[in-house]
């Protein structure tokens, strides 16, 4: 809902209906399903419209933890800056689960240079650890229930640095293997060879599902 996303494309009521249903079913399933869904397709195939629509759908249900929409043609350079991803997700985490704020603020006060450290360290200390602290509390378990929460990362291939694109996937692979609450990732991109190869190297088949748009 940032100003940079004003006028963002959304799916019309008749577009990509089957794909929308597949994604919603993947999110709603309480069976042992993939924790990461990769939606790939060429430019103008509707990936961003689907990502926006799905993000809004689960935000309305209070099941969206965060989202980031990469864009190499965005109004701000930060739209293509992979280093903005983790701080953005951390900020959104505090908005969705205010109980994590004190823990995150304490970590930043203890290490004011934390945002100059690796993306992996930032994600572990400011996202995964607060979630772990949050989830072990009995009251929070009742709040979370068994329904999965969603993080949407759109246009990964539009991140300005290909090495960061791969690093982001490595970090997500670590997050889902250490799941502290039911958390799923929807990732969209063009089918770039280095992204596909990183998915193969970083994730096992049961963890990742793949939908290809034409």
Answer whether residue 61 shows pLDDT above 80: yes
What is the average per-residue pLDDT within 104-120?
A: 96
CA 106 – CA 199 distance, rounded (Å)? 34
Half-sphere exposure of 5 (CA within 13 A, CB side): 16
CA 165 – CA 214 distance, rounded (Å)? 22
Answer whether residue 177 shows pLDDT above 90: no
Reported as a pLDDT band with limits 50, 70 and 90, residue 189 is very high
Reported as a pLDDT band with limits 50, 70 and 90, residue 204 is confident
Q: Are strands 64-69 and 149-154 parallel, antiparallel or unpaired?
A: parallel
CA 66 – CA 152 distance, rounded (Å)? 6
Residues 67-94: tens digit of each pLDDT: 999 998 867 778 999 999 999 999 999 9
Q: What is the mean pLDDT of the chain?
A: 88
Q: Give me 176's structure tokens.
A: 């889902």
Q: Give me 62's structure tokens.
A: 């209070």
CA 92 – CA 186 distance, rounded (Å)? 16
Residues 127-151: tens digit of each pLDDT: 999 988 877 665 555 555 568 899 9
Give the per-residue pLDDT at 207. Answer: 82
């Amino acid at each position: 809902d940032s100003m940079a996303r004003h006028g963002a494309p959304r799916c019309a009521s008749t577009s990509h209906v089957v794909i929308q249903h597949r994604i919603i079913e993947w999110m709603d399933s309480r069976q042992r399903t993939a924790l990461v869904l990769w939606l790939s397709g060429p430019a103008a195939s509707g990936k961003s419209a689907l990502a926006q629509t799905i993000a809004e759908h689960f935000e309305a249900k209070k099941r969206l933890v965060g989202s980031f929409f990469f864009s190499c043609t965005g109004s701000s350079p930060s739209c293509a800056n992979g280093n903005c991803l983790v701080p953005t997700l951390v900020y959104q985490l505090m908005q969705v689960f205010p109980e994590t704020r004190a823990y995150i603020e304490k970590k930043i006060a203890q290490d004011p240079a934390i945002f100059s450290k690796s993306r992996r360290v930032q994600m572990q200390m400011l996202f995964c650890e607060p979630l772990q602290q949050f989830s072990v509390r009995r009251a929070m378990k009742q709040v979370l229930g068994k329904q999965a929460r969603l993080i949407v990362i759109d246009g990964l291939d539009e991140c300005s640095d290909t090495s960061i694109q791969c690093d982001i996937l490595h970090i997500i692979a670590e997050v889902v293997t250490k799941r502290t609450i039911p958390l799923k990732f929807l990732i969209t991109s063009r089918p770039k060879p280095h992204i596909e190869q990183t998915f193969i190297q970083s994730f096992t088949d049961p963890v990742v599902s793949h939908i290809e748009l034409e």
